[in-house]
Amino acid sequence: MRKLTTHSPAMVFGGTLALTMILWSDCAVACPFCAAESRTLTEEIGDSSAVLLAKLAAPSAVAQDPAEAGVPYAFVDPETGGAKFTIERILLGENLLKGVEQVEAIYFGDPDTQTVFYLRGVGEPPEWTIPMPLSERAVEYVTQLFSLPPSGVERVAFFQEYLEDEDPLLGQDAYDEFARAPYQDIIDLADRMDRDQLIAWIEGSRVSPSRRRLFLTMLGVCGQQEDLRRIEALLRSDIRLIGPVADAAAAASLATAGGVSGLSAAVVPEAIRFGERGRKLGLDAMIACYLTLSGRLSNVEAALVQVEDRFLRDPQTEYSHVHAALMAVRFLAEERQDLVPLERVIRSARLLLDNPEFADQVIPDLARWEDWSVIDRMVQLFEKSFEEDANRYVREPVITYLDVAAEQPGAVGEAAVRALERVEGLDPAAAKRARSLQAFGFLAQARSPSPSTSTATEDPPDPAEIPSPENLALEPALEASPAAPSKPERSPAELAALQAEANARLVAAEKERRSGFANSLRAEAAARDTAQDPPTGLLVGLPLLGAAVCMSVFWVILRGGAA
């Protein structure tokens, strides 16, 4: 289990920012546990003015033989290293290439005139990127990209055929497409997935952790009962139970056999641990797969209890394993409320309030899911943070949670206001830091209220939401009694004046708000600089002193060599 350590403010801020970016992603992706590793070919095409397939016609003389051309280290000057390519097919930008038969691009590779190359042009006229050689299979793949729908199950069905393709370009592009696709597309693709192939990839040793996460996510929507048992067995294995047994067996073998056989037995425990680490790669997606399969095929309540006991309640669980379980819980809350009610997911998340290493990470989730049942617990966490070796970084999330709760109507808001009054006096600086982060959009927020329950805020309204002067003129008439005489219609000049006045008020309010916030930030930065900046003499003197010492040592070495 990772020990609780002291973190710098930069680490805390960075962790908070990273967590916020995860929590507030508006677009649900097919694999919430794996990131796209590179730009897709489709994204590159979208940034291009021309795309074509071509063959090398005339490589540059410099590129053919740099040694004879007197170019050191095979350097190719972009001004003289251009090669000519004959256009085979224009995939994009025909209007820019009318009458053009050849293009020139910088090319550093072998002068192969039979290979088809993929070239992209940017701008008008196109500036060509470095040509990329394509296999016959890749030529067919690239050509079909232009006829695919922009989204939907048919699109991911096409890329499914190229996952882990023998051509690395196609396998990488297909994975990146899945990593960007909506999760609903994966659910819709379930009937067309190859379960046996997914299992083979998951259990294979040559698949990267990111791709294993994708395949586990896919198995969650198409797996069957035997797959559920297989994943459950992987989760139940625990090196804390297996390791000591293997160590004892190795020690006994070394004591009795000795020699080469004893030494071989001593290696077995490490091999077992290595294999266990391999089976746990992509644990977050594995837990999510297990819970998804249980929700579809079995008893999700029993599965959640197992995950809680194995990863969330046990204080000896590895830090990375607890984090993986938290990611799986978030996945259920965001993507699979059809299988597990949000209230049940929140119960699992609350368990981490007892874990000092994760309390600050789960509090933003509880606020976003509008769990206001733990207001008193937040006060307790704040007060406990002053104890020795406690998690001090829980304070800012607690303040933010209570700020959001205070905006709620009724008893919840009143309780949160009382709690804020209690904790703000304990650490005013933490309250200030929390609200500074909130001003930048960091930390937690509740889900957007419905129009019927929304309340006024200090932020200026969006210009698109401001009623026009015509509507402003009509509102008093609508609120007046039927017997009241109607007001005379305003002239266009009066309406324009009203609009200008409203805009001016909004601009002035926004400037005042931003100016006040900027001044507070500058004052805080100035105070911090005054308190922490070292004297100028030290900043200048220490490097000079170090340089003098180095020169002295160098001089002594030279004198010794001369002697």
- CB of 105 closer than 8 Å to CB of 82: yes
Number of C-beta neighbours around residue 559 at 10 A: 9
DSSP string over 50-96: EEEEEEEEE--HHHH-TTTTT-GGG---TTT-EEEEEEEEEEE-GGG
Domain assignment of residue 64, given as a range: 41-150
- Please check whether residues 137 and 272 belong to one and the same domain: no
| Structure letter (DSSP) for residue 485 | P
pLDDT in tens, the chain (563 residues): 333 333 343 334 344 434 444 344 444 555 678 888 899 999 999 999 999 999 998 776 655 555 455 554 444 555 656 789 999 999 999 999 998 999 999 887 788 889 999 999 999 999 999 999 999 999 999 999 999 999 999 999 999 999 999 999 999 999 999 999 999 999 999 999 999 999 999 998 889 999 999 999 999 999 999 999 999 999 988 766 566 655 666 566 656 655 555 555 556 666 666 666 777 889 999 999 999 999 999 999 999 999 999 999 988 899 999 999 999 999 999 999 999 999 999 999 999 999 999 999 999 999 999 999 999 999 999 999 988 777 788 999 999 999 999 999 999 999 999 999 999 999 999 999 988 887 765 555 555 443 333 333 334 444 344 344 334 333 333 333 333 344 444 444 454 455 555 545 544 544 454 444 445 444 544 544 444 445 555 555 666 776 776 776 666 666 654 44
- Please check whether residues 131 and 221 belong to one and the same domain: no
Angle between helices 195-203 and 209-222 (to 10 degrees): 150
- CB of 458 closer than 8 Å to CB of 491: no
Q: Assign 289 to helix, strand or coil.
A: helix
CATH code of the domain in which 145 resides: 2.40.50.120
- Number of structural domains, the chain? 2
* Closest by CA position to 517, among listed 433, 434, 428, 439: 439
- Residue 6 falls within a domain, yes or no? no
- Please check whether residues 362 and 258 belong to one and the same domain: yes
- Please check whether residues 233 and 86 belong to one and the same domain: no
CATH code of the domain in which 352 resides: 1.25.10
Fill in the amino acid letter for 106.
I
Q: What is the C-alpha separation between 212 and 31, in angstroms, rounded?
A: 10
Element (H, E) at 117: strand 116-122
Q: What is the C-alpha separation between 337 and 495, in angstroms, rounded?
A: 49
Q: What is the C-alpha separation between 496 and 491, in angstroms, rounded?
A: 9
Q: For strands 102-106 and 50-58, give the pairing.
A: unpaired
Q: What is the C-alpha separation between 83 and 106, in angstroms, rounded?
A: 6
Burial (0-12, 13-18, 19+ Cβ within 10 Å), 103: buried
- Residue 383 falls within a domain, yes or no? yes
- Please check whether residues 432 and 351 belong to one and the same domain: yes
- Residue 258 falls within a domain, yes or no? yes
- Residue 475 falls within a domain, yes or no? no
- Please check whether residues 135 and 206 belong to one and the same domain: no
